[in-house]
Chain A
């Protein structure tokens, strides 16, 4: 079955540490996105990619980095520069950017310890 796989499901980060969240899709979608969800707030866009080898900053990109070397993969690195990284991170994909709804992965819960 086609879908999006995020791993790990839970991740604990120590102060000053970089961590990478994995996102893989087999839907043959061109566009991929990373959102962050905090309690009581809507999803906020971190980065998006319309096509392989191209990505754009979203509304809250500071302290995060991404790559899009393969169509199927869009990993997110949370760097030590992100001062408040504890959140639920959601990866999504759509056929293309534009008038298409998203398919979401199951999410990664990141906690700073």
Chain B
């Protein structure tokens, strides 16, 4: 079992719709979770971090965390073509010294 698992996609949504990206992790005691956006050929960019169960909103982005289910998700409201990218889920490893990344979900937003 991979430590951080994501559906590779591609996930295709129409412009203006809500995109829902999901991630599961194996380390039950993980405490810190991150979402990065990576455009094709570019480096990742941090867009959200979440540490407590529940929802965290930042503009059009909402991160959701359920530690009991070992599940973290990212919702993108009013999706735009410029949101088309690969979204990487990342989990801080127990011990706090390194972050484990999922392989990413490719999102396409159709105009």
- A residues with a Cβ closer than 8 A to B are 33, 35, 40-43, 45, 48, 50, 56, 58, 90, 97-99, 101-107
B51 near A99: Cβ-Cβ < 8 Å: yes
Main secondary structure of the interface of A (DSSP, over half): loop
Q: Is B42 in contact with chain A by the CB < 8 A criterion?
A: yes
B101 near A50: Cβ-Cβ < 8 Å: no
10 sample A-B contacts, Cβ–Cβ < 8 Å, listed by A number: A41-B103, A42-B100, A48-B98, A90-B43, A97-B98, A99-B51, A99-B96, A101-B34, A102-B46, A107-B42
What 7 A-B pairs are tightest by C-beta distance, nearest first? Answer: A101-B46, A42-B101, A104-B43, A43-B101, A42-B103, A98-B96, A99-B32
> What sequence of 0s and 1s flags, for each residue 36-79 of chain B, a beta carbon within 8 Å of any chain A beta carbon?
10000011111001010000000000000000000000000000
A40 near B4: Cβ-Cβ < 8 Å: no
- The complex places the Cα of A48 from the Cα of B102 at a distance, in Å, of 18
A45 near B98: Cβ-Cβ < 8 Å: yes
Complex interface: chain A residues within 8 A of B46 (CB): 101-103
- B residues with a Cβ closer than 8 A to A are 4, 8, 31-32, 34, 36, 42-46, 49, 51, 88, 92, 96-104
> Whole-angstrom distance from the CB of A62 to the nearest CB of chain B?
17
B97 near A50: Cβ-Cβ < 8 Å: yes
- The complex places the Cα of A56 from the Cα of B98 at a distance, in Å, of 10
Closest to B103 in A: A42
Give which listed residue, A33, A101, A106, contacts B43 with CB less than 8 A: A106
A99 near B31: Cβ-Cβ < 8 Å: yes
> Whole-angstrom distance from the CB of A42 to the nearest CB of chain B?
4
Closest to B8 in A: A40
> Whole-angstrom distance from the CB of A8 to the nearest CB of chain B?
15
Give which listed residue, B31, B42, B96, B98, contacts A106 with CB less than 8 A: B42
Complex interface: chain A residues within 8 A of B102 (CB): 42
Known pairs A50-B97, A90-B43, A97-B96; list 10 more (Cβ under 8 Å): A33-B98, A45-B99, A48-B97, A48-B98, A98-B32, A101-B34, A101-B36, A101-B49, A106-B43, A107-B42
